[in-house]
A and B are shown apart, each in its own frame.
Chain A
Amino acid sequence: MNRINPLYIALLLVVVFVFVSLKLDSVQFELADIKDEYKKKASLTYKVSGLQSAYRNKKEIEKSINLLLRFPAVKSIETKIKRDSILLSSKSIDKNVLNLLMGRLLNRTYNIHSLKIERLSETRVCFKMEIKC
């Protein structure tokens, strides 16, 4: 008669089951919260890092501009690298060459901060551009 009543053990198991279920529920709730937070952070990260690599990656911008200026036709373009920008300028450049260069510059994601194109003659123009990075 001193044996533990089997019904009490069943009740204990029910209590343990309820306790474990509640713990699971709270952890699942926490997981859903952290999933939401992670999704928001991931979306923000991809947007910021994507735009950052396009507009603030000085090394990459410098490298790609150097590649653009490799052609002999654009040799007259002077490049000046500042702390947070790159200056491209030419006192006199052929309008067709400038047309080609502008086509390439505008098709890249450079942050063009300032630009000046002035007609000098029928075929020559003066050009100045500041790219922020």
Chain B
Amino acid sequence: MFIKFNEKIKTIFLDSDSSEEMLDERVNVILSPSLYWVKKITLPIKNVADAKKLLPSIFEDTLPKGNYNYFVYKEENVFFAFAYEDKVILDLLSEKGISDSNIENVYFAQSELSFINGTVKINKTQKICLKEGVLILLCEWIEDGEEVDLDSIELSKNSIVLAQFGHIVDNNSLYTIWLILIMLIGLVTTEYFITYHKLQELTTLSDNIFKKHNLQETTLQNETILKEYTLTHSKQTLLREYISIILSLKLKSGENLKQMILKNRVLKLEFSALCDETIKSIIYTMESNRVKFKTEKKVNTWHLEMIL
């Protein structure tokens, strides 16, 4: 691991016309001037950050149609502004057999090779030269200059990061999507914790409701008790209704109710000296009130049984 840390990383010059490079090692990539647009400008601002905001408008009229990313660095009082297409560079890298994972850093030839004097041979077929401070790629027929060893160059800090899907969605939109997603996650997580808290509270309440009201432990036991109580309640209501009906009966003088007995859910009444008319009237009252009853006539008494 220690050895790997000190390992010298190879530097390559990337151009569509450069010879094929099948590399299976980590590399620094210097982009050929054919892969980017550069402008050497003087701006009435001091910071690179402020200059970055102006880049799209600086290149507005110069660039052909495409999805461009921008970069700027300052050298003395001059700004070097760059426009490049991530997809074009990434496609070229993959064409050359260089995988993304093997790329250490990506630089512009302008920032890394601006020290050269005259024409310089960059590889077997290509040459570059500096014209009015801007690095340009030369045609093959121009006579050879001295060759530059790319691996010996001390690379600057002006590297760029290539956006793999920059042509589909730009970084600003991505950051907006991030923000929306983070807010949604925050909202949903808050809702989750609130719901979870409610669930726990309700579970505790539900578990303790029977205990709190001194009832049996299970729902089944309590349902059985409820059935028993409901039956009792309906019988008691019926008893009161029947007594109310009995009290509404009109007896003639000499006729009387001798006895009233409630036992085993049967209400028995014993009348004495009832005439037929009164008996008919009592039976009519019972029937019209839909009372389940039985009657029995003995020598001087008349019995009425009402079932609860």
Q: Which residues of A contact B (CB under 8 A)?
A: 1-3, 5-7, 9-10, 13-14, 16-17, 20-21, 23-24, 27-28, 30-31, 34-35, 37-38, 40-42, 44-45, 47-49, 51-52, 54-56, 102, 106, 109-112, 114-119
On whether the beta carbons of A51 and B262 are closer than 8 Å, the reply is: no
Tell me which of B164, B209, B239 contacts A5 (CB under 8 A).
B164
Answer whether residue B284 sits at the interface, using C-beta atoms and an 8 A cutoff: no
Beyond A5-B165, A20-B192, A55-B236, 4 additional contacts (C-beta under 8 Å) are A13-B178, A20-B189, A30-B199, A31-B195
Label chain B's interface by main secondary structure.
Answer: helix
B207-222 at interface with A (beta carbon < 8 Å): 209-210, 213-215, 219, 222
On whether the beta carbons of B185 and A17 are closer than 8 Å, the reply is: yes
Tell me which of A30, A51, A109, A111 contacts B230 (CB under 8 A).
A51
Mask, B85-103, CB within 8 Å of A = 1, is 0000000000000001001
B194-235 at interface with A (beta carbon < 8 Å): 195-196, 198-199, 202-203, 205-206, 209-210, 213-215, 219, 222-223, 225-226, 229-230, 232-233
| A6 / chain B contacts, CB cutoff of 8 Å | 163, 171, 174-175, 178
- Listed by A's residue number, 19 A-B pairs whose Cβ atoms lie within 8 Å are A1-B100, A1-B161, A1-B162, A16-B181, A16-B185, A20-B185, A27-B196, A31-B195, A38-B209, A41-B219, A47-B230, A48-B225, A49-B213, A51-B233, A102-B243, A112-B239, A116-B262, A118-B259, A119-B259
On whether the beta carbons of B181 and A10 are closer than 8 Å, the reply is: yes
Label chain A's interface by main secondary structure.
Answer: helix
CA distance A105 to B226 in the complex (A): 24
Q: Nearest Cβ distance between residue A7 and chain B, in whole angstroms?
A: 5
| A40 / chain B contacts, CB cutoff of 8 Å | 219
On whether the beta carbons of B192 and A51 are closer than 8 Å, the reply is: no
CA distance A13 to B233 in the complex (A): 61
Answer whether residue B188 sits at the interface, using C-beta atoms and an 8 A cutoff: yes
- B interface residue count range (under 10 / 10 to 19 / 20 to 34 / 35 or more): 35 or more
Answer whether residue B263 sits at the interface, using C-beta atoms and an 8 A cutoff: yes
Answer whether residue B305 sits at the interface, using C-beta atoms and an 8 A cutoff: no
8 nearest A-B residue pairs (beta carbon)? A51-B229, A115-B262, A13-B181, A1-B103, A38-B206, A24-B192, A117-B260, A49-B213
CA distance A55 to B229 in the complex (A): 8
Task: Name the residue in B162, B164, B188, B198 with the highest tally of chain A Cβ atoms < 10 Å from its Cβ.
Answer: B188
Q: Which partner residue on chain B sits nearest A49 by CB separation? A: B213
Contact status of A28 and B195, CB under 8 A, knowing A34-B203, A38-B205: yes
| B260 / chain A contacts, CB cutoff of 8 Å | 115-117
Q: Which partner residue on chain A sits nearest B258 by CB separation? A: A119
Mask, B233-261, CB within 8 Å of A = 1, is 10010011001000000000000111111
